[in-house]
Chain A
């Protein structure tokens, strides 16, 4: 019978809960004792029944079996507690929404900047790239947990204070957002204009060598482009060419919305690759030795190279964000295609 008292002691512990030292007065303690007394009686009645069916007293193993049937002390105690939650069902969707927005708002720019730094700033990954990356990610996770903790705390306080309830009483249906309409086709006008701009860019880029000297002529030939960059001259055309293919197809197949998302993602990734290749060819501009005013230009060129480097970093961050957006769009389109495929299969099976 010692086992029963040990069991009831454990239930009493969980009934009181962690706040037993400062919460709950004499009334709460009386209630706990009442529950324990009733539980003790129930267990004894069970044992009486069991023993009368066996025609003998039960042993310790059988008693342990009876207590196991009653349930774990924590579980039994929990059933007597009122349902408690940190954030209730009214505020929970809002909490989840804010958490997602804030986390994404922090995570996405952080990831893009980190990626750009790793690709474009050699000093960032100087001696030990693995530790640099790991350290950076550890800092990011720490910040995310702090932000998530603060948001949770704010919502837990809101749940207790409940000013949101008053706001929910005062609302106007006319102020609800307009119906969002998913585009089920890529506009032909959009594809045509995109194609015109793509062609214009390619023509401009391919003819660039014919008038590039206009930019550097004022220096009297003292500054020249790093010859290593000439190897990458045609590379920027590739992402634009990918977009041209998409635009051409979408003119004839406007309902292939998935095509735009996929090709834009591919174009973004190619652009990032091109930017990484170009960024590795430092210095971008060189001073021609022996040229007139070469000494003066030698002082200015490092600053110009720095500006170009930062510009490339900025462009890479922009393209990185675009790539993430296009990745999300691609996943959505693929899921939509999957659902459409499932429903058409179901239609076919139904017709069969």
Chain B
């Protein structure tokens, strides 16, 4: 009986964890774009960008970062160039003028959302 209860409890916990993980990823998805754009106000190549984000508490795996960088570049929000550094070719990214404008709007939206959420939480 105890083992049945334990299995049921474990299954419920794993479902809860999975649900939380999905919600967390959804929440992060939008923030990541703004974070990457903001970080690229100064020039970075992929690896240093990932490290910089990680150092500031926003870990992102390369499987997510590189496709995101390519998408943002194809949308005209980033500019990139291959350049040699320490005898190795690296692709450096930076925010484009269009990206700067979009980032400003995104940050404004983010602040509004954050303020609204804070307000809602305060009311409770």
Considering residues B62, B64, B66, which has the most beta carbons from chain A within 10 angstroms of its beta carbon? B62
- Interface residues of A, Cβ cutoff 8 Å to B: 34-35, 37-39, 41-42, 44-46, 70-71, 75-76, 79-80
- Taking a contact as CB atoms under 8 Å apart, the answer to whether A44 and B91 are in contact is no
Bound together, the chains give a CA A172 to CA B114 distance in angstroms of 40
7 further A-B contacts with Cβ under 8 Å, apart from A37-B91, A38-B66, are: A39-B62, A41-B45, A41-B47, A42-B46, A42-B66, A76-B62, A76-B63
By beta carbon, the residue of chain B nearest A34 is: B91
In the assembled complex, how far is the CB of residue A324 from the closest CB belonging to chain B, in whole angstroms? 33
Determine the residue in chain A with the shortest Cβ distance to B64: A79
Summed over the interface, the residue pairs from A and B with CB atoms below 8 Å come to a total of 42
Residues of A within 8 A of B82 (CB): 37
Complex: how many Å from CA A44 to CA B63? Answer: 16
Closest chain B residue, CB of each to CB of A31 = B70
When each residue 82-104 of chain B gets 1 if its CB lies under 8 Å from chain A and 0 otherwise, what string results?
10000011110000000000000
Pick the contact of A37: B48, B61, B89 (CB < 8 A): B89
Assembled-state Cα–Cα distance A44/B48 (Å): 12
Tell me the smallest distance from the CB of B80 to a CB of chain A, in Å.
9
- Contacts of A38 on B, CB cut-off 8 Å? 46, 66, 91
The closest CB in chain A to the CB of B85 belongs to A41
Q: Which residue of A lies closest to B46 (CB)?
A: A42
Instruction: Quote the shortest CB–CB distance from B62 to chain A (angstroms).
Output: 6
Which one of B64, B67, B88 contacts A41 once the chains associate, using CB atoms below 8 Å?
A: B88
Q: Contacts A38-B91, A70-B62; is A45 near B67 (CB within 8 Å)?
A: no
A46 and chain B: residue at smallest CB distance: B47
* Residue of A with least CB distance to B63: A79
* Cα distance, A76 to B64, chains bound together (Å): 9
Contact between B67 and A44, CB atoms less than 8 A apart: no
Q: List 19 A–B pairs whose Cβ atoms lie within 8 Å, in order of A's numbering.
A: A34-B91, A35-B70, A37-B82, A38-B91, A39-B66, A41-B47, A41-B88, A41-B89, A42-B47, A42-B50, A42-B62, A42-B66, A44-B88, A70-B63, A71-B63, A75-B63, A79-B63, A79-B64, A79-B67
In angstroms, Cα B67 to Cα A131, docked, is: 55
Q: Which residues from A are CB-within-8-Å of B47? A: 41-42, 45-46
Secondary structure at the B interface, as helix, strand, loop or mixed, is helix
For residue A79, give the distance in angstroms from its CB to the closest CB of chain B.
Answer: 4
Which residues of chain B are near A80, meaning CB under 8 Å?
66-67, 70
Chain B residues lying within 8 Å of A41, measured Cβ to Cβ, are 45-47, 88-91
Q: In the complex the two chains form, what is the Cα distance from A34 to B88 in whole Å?
A: 14
Interface residues in B48-66 (C-beta closer than 8 Å to A)? 48, 50, 61-64, 66
Please measure, in the bound complex, the distance between the C-alpha atom of A70 and the C-alpha atom of B47, giving whole angstroms: 12
User: In the complex, which residues of chain B have a beta carbon less than 8 angstroms from the beta carbon of A35?
Assistant: 66, 70
Give chain B residues whose Cβ lies under 8 Å from the Cβ of A46: 47
Count chain B CB atoms within 10 A of each CB in A38, A41, A75, A80 and give the residue with the most.
Answer: A38
Chain A nearest CB from B28 CB (Å) reads 16
By a CB distance below 8 angstroms, the chain A residues around B48 are 45
Contact residues of B between 18 and 70, Cβ < 8 Å to A: 45-48, 50, 61-64, 66-67, 70
Q: How far is the CB of A17 from chain B (nearest CB, A)?
A: 15
Q: CA A220 – CA B91 in complex, angstroms?
A: 106
- Chain A residues whose C-beta falls within 8 Å of the C-beta of B90 in the assembled complex: 41
**B50 nearest in chain A by CB position:** A42
Closest to A44 in B: B88
Taking each of B47, B50, B90, B91, which has the highest tally of chain A beta carbons within 10 Å of its own beta carbon? Answer: B47
Closest 4 CB pairs of A and B: A45-B47, A79-B63, A79-B67, A80-B67
State A35–B74 Cα separation when bound (angstroms): 14
Chain A hits for B64, CB < 8 A: 79
